[in-house]
Amino acid sequence: MTHTPDTPVRSSRASGWRTIRKVAPYLWPSETPWVKRRVVLAMTMLVLSKLIAVYTPVLYKGAVDALAAEGVPMLALGAVGLTVAYGMARLMSVGFQQLRDALFAPVAQRALRRLALETFAHIHRLSLRYHISRKTGGLSRIIERGVKGVEFLLRFMLFSVGPLILELSLVAIILTVLFDARYLLIVAVTIGLYVWFTFTVTEWRVQLRREMNQSDTDANQKAIDSLLNYETVKYFGAEEREAARYDVSMRDYEQAALKTAYSLSFLNFGQSLLITAGLIGVMVLAALGVQNGTLTVGDFVMVNAYMIQITIPLNFLGTVYREIRQSLVDMGEMFDLLEQPQEVCDKPGAADLKITGGRIELDDVRFAYDPNRQILKGVSLEVPAGQTVAIVGATGSGKSTIGRLLFRFYDVTGGALKIDGQDLRDVTQTSLHNAIGVVPQDTVLFNDTIRYNIAYGRDGATQDEIEEAARAAQIHDFIVTLPEGYETKVGERGLKLSGGEKQRVGIARTLLKNPPILLLDEATSALDTQTEQEIQDALARAGQGRTVITIAHRLSTISEADRIVVLDKGEIVEQGTHDDLLARHGRYATLWRRQQSDTDAA
């Protein structure tokens, strides 16, 4: 395909119209009649405001002519009466504008809230693969700019561009009727050139703003990433390195911002030049008319008032158009995010998962994150209901991948994964997630209280239930020694707690959820030996009557499992009990001896 120079502009405009089409339903929702009524009333107030505004200079002309004793008296009112009428008209125009804003405010805020909620919910529906590849800081900036863009578009596009077009049309009609076509011609040419110049330069500036946004997003991401890894930065004495890395992004932002500022100055000067030329042209015609006796001083003043009335919103149009174009760019990024397809979706009419025992079956499961790198190569495994099965193997063997497939962060690319005979692809994700409790290797906590983080396991849990789960996870005694107890803030990602304390909060959270299936992914890896044994006892009690899959690297933690499965390069190479596998002198026995030797040496 051959790209002409204006292809990016056409593409940008098409994207802008797409964005406007997507926003429109939020302003005219078929299911909410009150919103439509408010929009209609707001538009009515807008029209009334403009009609009065356009008639106001006529009253101004009448007052001037009355004072100069020229022309035909208007409405049998004297100069004072016309002056009062002029003031009242201006007041009514402003009053209708404010009433319009008050009527429309709930509509705009409702649309903003619905769109923000939809975006937030959609992000949570996107796959783990998407979130791993995206940068959280950049993602939050896209949402922030997009929502602000919607707010600006609703406020200015409806109440600035539309009213401006109406006002210009009415003024053009009045100038033609009361004066002659020369006035209309000058005004039309001025507006035409102004709009062409504004749109052309602004399209160029949009690309500059995109570059500035990209630099801003990149700098913001680097700052957030560095702050989230504060300890790592300190460990490696990399403060200056991080500052230099951040400064590179800020330098790119500075250069893009300067280009934007320079182009803005050029745009503003060009707009002023065109408007001033048009104003001078019309005023010269009116002045000649007064000299010739065909126009009154009031007519001269009225023409001047109309030109000023046009000039103010036209100057504003430049700003509004620039901001609308930028808002469309920002909103376009957000709508691109909304159009990002879900990798894992519920089938139409998917049923809820029904747990009758908790039997897990992997039937020739194959999976690859990348088509060129197969992770699981036909794994077949059955975990009977109520049993504990441990999965071990070297790094990269596919242990954690099985856990992610079980929770359906991804769908298998071959074979099937079932619970109680139900293919996970045929059931709802919500019911599946409710049935499985996960204790990951690295528990991440919300920047809130310990109570909130434990209670996250089950919505509406009582304080007694929270404390019971904390006792089972061997952390209650520690919590009550804290000055604020369960109301203690854990800090960003739980950094105020030690690794073991964080892990126990995570275990308590999962125990509170009380699921029929437990997935323990290196659940005790962050704990010391004594605490690990206490937690293993707690997890063993919690696993009674449940199906448990334990993904482990430390073999001492899974020696009591009903069955141990050894993975190597995505395939099962051994399985059996701890004693059976040791007796075989195979891969498991080698791993066991190696770890025991390391323990003895320590």
Q: What is the DSSP letter of 68?
A: H
Domain-embedded: residue 236: yes
The average pLDDT across 530-554 equals: 77
Q: What's residue 3's pLDDT?
A: 38
86-90, 100-104, 116-120, 169-173: the lowest-pLDDT one: 116-120
Q: What's residue 4's pLDDT?
A: 39
C-alpha 459/C-alpha 597 separation (Å) is: 45
The helix/strand/coil state of 422 is: strand
Q: What's residue 177's pLDDT?
A: 83
The average pLDDT across 468-484 equals: 88
Domain-embedded: residue 347: no
Indicate the pairing of strand 388-393 with strand 414-419. unpaired
414 forms bridges with which residues in the sheet? 366
C-alpha 579/C-alpha 269 separation (Å) is: 86
C-alpha 72/C-alpha 538 separation (Å) is: 98
Q: Quote the tokens at residue 440.
A: 């990951």
Domain-embedded: residue 1: no
C-beta separation of 344 from 224 below 8 A:
no
Model confidence at 27, in pLDDT bands (50, 70, 90)? low
65-69, 159-163, 552-556: the lowest-pLDDT one: 159-163
C-alpha 97/C-alpha 447 separation (Å) is: 44
H-helix or E-strand spanning residue 378: strand 376-383
Q: Which of 106-120, 199-213, 322-336, 369-383 has the highest mean pLDDT?
A: 369-383
- 256, 330: one domain: yes
The beta strands (E) that lie in 384-496 are given as 388-393, 414-419, 422-423, 436-439
- Helices 79-125 and 136-152, axial angle in degrees (round to 10): 150
Q: What's residue 452's pLDDT?
A: 92
Q: What's residue 517's pLDDT?
A: 92
Domain that holds residue 495: 360-601
Give the residue, 495 or 9, on which the prediction is more confident.
495
Domain-embedded: residue 11: no
277-331 pLDDT, tens digit each: 988 898 898 899 888 888 888 888 888 888 888 777 777 666 677 677 677 777 7
Q: What's residue 454's pLDDT?
A: 92
The answer on pLDDT for 228 being more than 90 is: no
248-279 pLDDT, tens digit each: 888 888 888 898 888 888 888 888 888 889 88
166-180, 314-328, 543-557: the lowest-pLDDT one: 314-328
- 332, 374: one domain: no
CB within 8 Å of 277: residues ≥ 6 apart: 190
The backbone region for 583, taken as left when phi is positive above 0, alpha when psi lies in -120 to 50, beta otherwise, is alpha
Using alpha carbons, select from 402, 365, 360 the residue that is nearest to residue 382.
Answer: 360
Model confidence at 390, in pLDDT bands (50, 70, 90)? very high
- 200, 249: one domain: yes
Domain-embedded: residue 214: yes
Tally of residues, the chain: 602
C-beta separation of 434 from 512 below 8 A:
no
Using alpha carbons, select from 255, 245, 254 the residue that is nearest to residue 224.
Answer: 245
C-alpha 385/C-alpha 493 separation (Å) is: 35
Give the residue, 560 or 33, on which the prediction is more confident.
560
The answer on pLDDT for 5 being more than 50 is: no
38-52, 62-76, 267-281: the lowest-pLDDT one: 62-76
Total of domains in the chain: 2
What is the residue whose two structure tokens read 């699981």? 376
The average pLDDT across 228-238 equals: 81
C-alpha 475/C-alpha 505 separation (Å) is: 7
Model confidence at 351, in pLDDT bands (50, 70, 90)? very high
Model confidence at 16, in pLDDT bands (50, 70, 90)? low
Residue 278: CA count within 13 A, CB half-sphere: 25
The answer on pLDDT for 21 being more than 60 is: yes
The average pLDDT across 219-236 equals: 82
- 429, 325: one domain: no
What is the residue whose two structure tokens read 């692809």? 425
- 279, 381: one domain: no
**CATH code of the domain containing 28:** 1.20.1560.10
157-161, 215-219, 350-354, 574-578: the lowest-pLDDT one: 157-161
C-alpha 390/C-alpha 576 separation (Å) is: 10
Q: What is the DSSP letter of 556?
A: G
- 107, 166: one domain: yes
The answer on pLDDT for 333 being more than 70 is: yes
The average pLDDT across 381-395 equals: 89
Domain-embedded: residue 471: yes
Q: How many CB atoms lie within 10 A of CB 240?
A: 8
Alpha carbon distances (Å) from 25 to 32, 138, 599: 11, 27, 65
Q: What is the DSSP letter of 78?
A: -
- 470, 551: one domain: yes
- 90, 199: one domain: yes
The answer on pLDDT for 565 being more than 90 is: yes
The answer on pLDDT for 11 being more than 70 is: no
- 277, 369: one domain: no
C-alpha 487/C-alpha 465 separation (Å) is: 16
Q: What's residue 133's pLDDT?
A: 56
The average pLDDT across 504-520 equals: 88
C-beta separation of 389 from 563 below 8 A:
yes
Residue 592: CA count within 13 A, CB half-sphere: 18
- 334, 367: one domain: no
Q: What's residue 290's pLDDT?
A: 87
Indicate the pairing of strand 517-521 with strand 436-439. parallel
- 324, 364: one domain: no
Report the amino acid identity of residue 242.
E
- 402, 328: one domain: no
87-96, 118-127, 546-555: the lowest-pLDDT one: 118-127
Model confidence at 74, in pLDDT bands (50, 70, 90)? low
Domain-embedded: residue 16: no
Q: What's residue 26's pLDDT?
A: 63
Mean pLDDT of the chain: 80
Q: What's residue 361's pLDDT?
A: 93
Domain-embedded: residue 18: no
**CATH code of the domain containing 395:** 3.40.50.300
Largest CA distance in the chain: 120
C-alpha 353/C-alpha 236 separation (Å) is: 48
CB within 8 Å of 172: residues ≥ 6 apart: 184, 187, 188
Using alpha carbons, select from 55, 56, 89, 64 the residue that is nearest to residue 295.
Answer: 64
Provide the percentage of residues in the chain whose pLDDT is more than 90. Answer: 15
Q: What's residue 8's pLDDT?
A: 41
H-helix or E-strand spanning residue 199: helix 181-228
Q: What's residue 528's pLDDT?
A: 67
C-beta separation of 457 from 511 below 8 A:
yes
The answer on pLDDT for 57 being more than 70 is: yes
Report the amino acid identity of residue 432.
L
Indicate the pairing of strand 563-568 with strand 571-576. antiparallel
